[in-house]
Structure 1
Amino acid sequence: MKTFKRAAIAATILTATLTSQSAMAGWSANVGLVSDYHFRGIQQTESASASAGVDYAADSGFYVGAWSAEVEDGLEVDLYGGYGLELESGITLDANFVSYQYTGDFDSAYNEIGVSAGYGLFSVGYVNGKWDGAVGNEDATEGDYSLVTLSVEKNGWSATIGSWGKVFDGEYGEIAYGTEIGGFDVGVGLVVSGSDLDDSESLYFSLSKSFEL
Structure 2
Amino acid sequence: MTKSRIAAGAALLAVAGLASAGEFSVTPAVVSDYDFRGATQTDEDPAFQLGASYNFDSGFYVGAWGSTLKFPDPSDDVEVDLFAGYAGDTGLFGYDVGVNWYTYPGWSDLNTVELYAGISKDWLSAKLWYSPDYASTDEDGFYLEANAVYPIKAVEGLSLLAHVGRSFGDASGSFVKTLDYSVGVGYSIANFDFAVKYIDTNKSSLDADRVWASVSTTLPWGK
What's the TM-score once normalised by structure 2's chain length? 0.75
In 1, Cα distance between the equivalents of 2:68 and 2:28? Answer: 12
The answer to whether the 8 A contact 1:170-1:197 is kept is no
1:78 and 1:101 in contact (8 A); partners too: yes
Q: How has the CA–CA distance of structure 1 residues 174 and 107 changed in structure 2, closer, same or farther, with 3 Å as cutoff?
A: farther
Residue in 2 that maps onto 1:190: 198
Q: Structure 1 CA distance, aligned partners of 2:109 and 2:190? A: 37
SS at match of 2:79: strand
Q: Distance in 2 between matches of 1:210 and 1:194?
A: 33
Q: Determine which structure has the larger strand proportion and give its number.
A: 1
Matches within 5 A, 1:114-133: 114-129=116-131, 130-133=133-136
What are structure 2's unaligned runs of at least 5 residues?
1-21, 71-75, 152-158
1:207 matched to which residue of 2? 215
**Counterpart residue number, 2:73:** none
RMSD: 1.9
Alpha-carbon spacing, 1:107–1:37, altered in 2? closer, same or farther (3 Å)? farther
Displacement after TM superposition at 1:196 (Å):
6.8
Task: Please give the alpha-carbon distance, in whole angstroms, between the structure 1 residues aligned to 2:127 and 2:59.
Answer: 18
2:27 aligns with 30
Identity of aligned residues (%): 26
- Contact 2:65 / 2:82 at 8 angstroms: preserved in 1? yes
SS in 1 for 2:57: coil
**Distance in 2 of aligned mates of 1:205 and 1:132:** 27
Report the secondary structure of 1:212's partner residue: coil
Matches of 2:130 and 2:59, distance apart in 1: 22
Q: Structure 1 85/43 Cα, relative in aligned 2: closer, same or farther at 3 Å?
A: same
**1:65 CA displacement:** 0.2
Q: Which residue, out of 140, 146, 153, partners 1:144?
A: 140
Partner of 1:95: 97
Separation of aligned partners in 2, 1:32 and 1:162: 23
Offset of residue 182 of structure 1: 4.1
Q: By how many angstroms is 1:132 displaced?
A: 4.1
1:82 aligns with 2:85: yes
- For 1:104, the equivalent position in structure 2 comes to 106
More RCO (CA 8 Å, sep 6+):
1
- Indicate the SS of the match to 2:206: coil
Contact 2:39-2:208 within 8 A present in 1 as well: no
Gaps of 5+ in 1: 1-24, 134-140
The counterpart of 1:180, out of the listed 188, 202, 206, is 188
Q: Which has the larger radius of gyration?
A: 2
1:40 alignment counterpart: 37
Aligned residues: 181
Q: Report the TM-score when normalising by structure 1.
A: 0.78
What residue identity is the alignment partner of 2:68?
Answer: E
What does 1:161-180 correspond to in 2, within 5 Å?
A: 161-166=164-169, 167=171, 168-180=176-188
How far is the alpha carbon of 1:144 from its aligned partner? 2.0
User: 2-side partners of 1:198 and 1:157: how far apart?
Assistant: 26
Deviations 1:11-35 (A, max 9, x none): xxxxxxxxxxxxxx51111111001
